[in-house]
Every structure is written in C-alpha cells, then in structure tokens.
C-alpha cells in the first residue's frame, strides 16, 4: 500500500519493523536523547513517514515551527519541556492533512492508548487490541 494510503495499523506496523534500531546521533556525555519512551517512538514514526514520502523535511520543519510559534503565542513557557508535545501536534497535523488519519481516529487512538496504559502492569509493554478499522483494505 502506498505511504499516502496507509491505515494507522499499517503505519504502526511499519514503524515497529523499520523504526527499530534507527541510528541515533552520538550523545555528548552519555546523556539520554529522550526523556520518555513515547518521544523516541514519535521521532521514529516521523523518520519513517518521511522515508515513505509522506512529507518532505521542509514541510516537516515548517509545520513544527508553526506549531511551536502557535504554542508560544498561547503562553507556552518555551523551556523545552513541551517540545515533543509540539512535535506530536505537528505530526498529527500532517497525518490529518495527508488523510492518513482523521481527527476522530487520532482522538480514539489517544484514548485507547491511555486506557491500555492504565490497565497494563508496570514494566510490561502496552498492547492495543486490534480495532475493526485497523484491518487493511486492498
């Protein structure tokens, strides 16, 4: 299926397959690149979607910069703590504008993750049950 016509399940599967083991830039002094695991997933998903031709780096940079400026105008403290929230907002915006996902699908997915996380024992991977709309169509 073409990158512009992938279901959310296909994007997730491709990210799991292709996104694992992405090369990371060297970290000065052994610092962590990401504060939370979801940030690494968002980073990997962005790389994958770019690699699949969903958006160019120029489009990505413009979308992320616009999101950050919007947040600053709304009173964001701009101390770096919200950077990956802005990253996710920009990624969601591109997924919606490219019709990879609808606002409703992303909202439902967000709630499904929160529910799954709340019901997953500490230290265990969070697993989402398959949804009817996750089945790829041919």
- How many other C-beta atoms can be found within 10 angstroms of the C-beta atom of residue 3? 18
Task: Give the CA count within 13 Å in the CB-facing half-sphere of 46.
Answer: 24
pLDDT in tens, 13-50: 655 554 444 444 455 666 667 888 788 888 988 999 99
pLDDT in tens, 44-70: 889 999 999 999 999 999 999 999 999
* pLDDT exceeds 60 at position 137: no
Q: What pLDDT does residue 125 have?
A: 82
Q: Which of 63, 124, 138, 122 is nearest to 98 (CA)?
A: 63
Encode the chain in three state secondary structure. Answer: CCHHHCCHHHHHHHHHHHCCCCCCCCCHHHCCCCCCHHHHHHHHHHHHHHHCCCCCHHHHHHHHHHHHHHHHHCCCCCCCCCHHHHHHHHHHHHHHHCCCCCHHHHHHHHHHHHHHHHCCCCCCCCCCCCCHHHCCCC
How much is the pTM?
A: 0.69
Mean pLDDT of 115-123: 88
Task: State the residue for tokens 């996710």.
Answer: 88
């Amino acid at each position: 299926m073409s990158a512009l016509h992938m279901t959310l399940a296909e994007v997730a599967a491709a990210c799991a397959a292709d996104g694992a083991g992405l090369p990371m830039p060297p970290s000065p002094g052994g610092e962590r690149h990401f504060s939370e695991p979801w940030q690494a997933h968002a980073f990997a998903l962005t790389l994958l979607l770019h690699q699949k031709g969903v958006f160019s780096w120029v489009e990505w940079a413009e979308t992320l910069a616009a999101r950050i400026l919007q947040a600053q105008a709304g009173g964001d403290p701009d101390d770096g703590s919200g950077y990956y929230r802005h990253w996710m907002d920009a990624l969601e915006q591109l997924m919606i504008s490219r019709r990879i996902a609808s606002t409703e699908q992303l909202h439902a997915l967000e709630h499904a993750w929160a529910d799954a996380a709340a019901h997953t024992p500490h230290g265990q991977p969070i697993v989402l049950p398959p949804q009817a709309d996750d089945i790829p169509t041919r």
